[in-house]
Amino acid sequence: MNIVILDGYTLNPGDLSWSGLEALGRCTIYDRTPADLTAERAQGAEVVLTNKVALREAELAQLPQLKYIGVLATGYDVVDVAAAGRRGVVVTNIPTYGTRSVAQMTFALLLELTQHVGHHAATVRQGRWSAGSDFCYWDHPLIELDGLSMGIIGFGRIGRAVAAIAPAFGMRVLAHDTGAAAEPMTDVRMVDLPRLLKSSDVVSLHCPLTPQNKGMINAANLAMMKPGAFLINTARGPLVNEPDLAAALNEGRIAGAALDVLVVEPPPPDNPLLTAKNCIITPHIAWATLAARQRLLDIAIDNLRAYLEGRPSNAVTG
């Protein structure tokens, strides 16, 4: 079994072991693969694992020996699953590895928006407290979460994990989900999107990207939010219309935003959010705790093993 990993570095920069995969076949591991080398590097492989390297019709047509694609992520839009299916190639993903880590990051971002820990810690290191006349200082309003409303858009595994944490801070929880079968949770009020946007002090995105919700956080929906509200996105970058959000922040129409995902990653230097007021951006790390990455790798190995045993698991086509 010839296994090729096209972009292993993001998942495993050296703190995990590939031994579980190596036990299943001969592994060739590339840290990164540019698009023009994808077909060349995957040539002759029966199994290809990828995180963000795209496998479209053009690449698949050059890989007649390919039988299995393991996507090292939950989203599998990097693979043309229809083209893979026509060729009898099984595609799998990793649906449930990072729920707790992403929920944790959601509150890390919210606490940074409301407490400004990073800013104040940096000023102390710069000597400002030592040189000050007062026993304390703060440069931004410090906001208590108790009594505020958190609106959660997308009420799947991660949205529900966030909803379970929010009451520990004394927050009320509203949720909106397009899935009619979203199960209720104690102390969570399901509402329509306009009501959520108008009523929430914090709006947190946890929905998958679809053609229907692409750019949903746009000028019209931002205008429904409270002037003191915060937006958090740990879901998918294209859910947000970035110029519209930058304008809302710069004009003070909402109080702030914290984003772990952007439309283009890495972002071009002219992305308007990079210079927007009260905007925190982190480099797509909500998923990347050591524990979550180990789970991801373990599930990827289990997926491949199940396929080899004739019982594909987490298959999205095939």
Whether 265 is a known active-site residue: answer: yes
CA distances 98 to 71, 72, 157, 242, 257, Å, are 15, 12, 10, 25, 22
User: What is the DSSP code string of 141-168?
Assistant: -----TT-EEEEE--SHHHHHHHHHGGG
Whether 128 is a known active-site residue: answer: no
From the candidates 236, 242, 293, 295, give the one annotated as an active-site residue. 236
From the candidates 57, 144, 183, 265, give the one annotated as an active-site residue. 265
From the candidates 41, 100, 195, 284, give the one annotated as an active-site residue. 284
Whether 236 is a known active-site residue: answer: yes
Looking at the annotation, which residues are catalytic?
236, 265, 284
